[in-house]
Copies of this chain bind each other. A is one copy, B any other.
Amino acid sequence: MSKSTHREDHLKALYTLGEEAGQESWVSTNAMAAHLDVKPPSVTAMVHVMSELGWAEHRPYRGARLTPLGKKLALTLVRKHRLWETFLVERLGFGWEEVHDIAEQLEHIDSVSLVDKLDAYLGHPTIDPHGDPIPTAKGQIADSRRLTPLLEWPHDKPCQVGAVKDSNDKVLVELTSLGIELGTVLRPEDRLKVPLALAEEVLVEPQSSQEISTNE
């Protein structure tokens, strides 16, 4: 892979962890190291590089935080990742649990026109195969949809699967084998069959009119 692959992965990690922890917070190098499966000193070094490039600022012993430029670049990466995942599932017929690692490579392909054409080819999708929103070309995420953790949803009302939280492969495979995928309608009685560990990962929304029928 090209040289910037690792830089870009660090950038994305900083973005992801920063989003999780709230806007103005500093992300610890330890957290990034764990997320990237790398040792903390390696992250410190890379954070310095990102700082040089104007992608992040670094407060020693506090953590790192993206600059506006860094955030913009991170969003193009997220966009590419999720568009490729969509392509792999929608067009090539991959399962939703198979695409993350491949998209992790594809997201680093450097070509603006490629991303635009892929986006158009897919019909400008707004969410990826895991229900995560796809940033627009201008770097805006349409976070208009309000999703609720399945476990917090009222027990007597039906709902519809809108996204899965942390796309761990195993979780996705097990959900699929239970007949649960994006858009699946869950009635109160359906929920009894879902193990807690899986239910924790599922985000739901009110049942929409144009639902996808369950295949059970």
A110 within 8 A of B: yes
A93 within 8 A of B: yes
CA distance A111 to B106 in the complex (A): 11
* Stoichiometry, copies per complex: 2
When distances are taken between beta carbons in the complex, the residues of chain B under 8 Å from A98 are 113
Pairwise interchain contact B102-A111, C-beta atoms closer than 8 A: yes
Which residue of the partner chain, among B4, B105, B118, contacts A110 with CB atoms under 8 Å? B105
Interchain nearest-CB distance for A191 vs B (Å): 33
When distances are taken between beta carbons in the complex, the residues of chain B under 8 Å from A101 are 111
- A residues 91-127 in Cβ contact with B at 8 Å: 91-94, 98, 101-102, 105-106, 108-111, 113-114, 117-118, 121
CA distance A111 to B111 in the complex (A): 21
When distances are taken between beta carbons in the complex, the residues of chain B under 8 Å from A106 are 106, 109
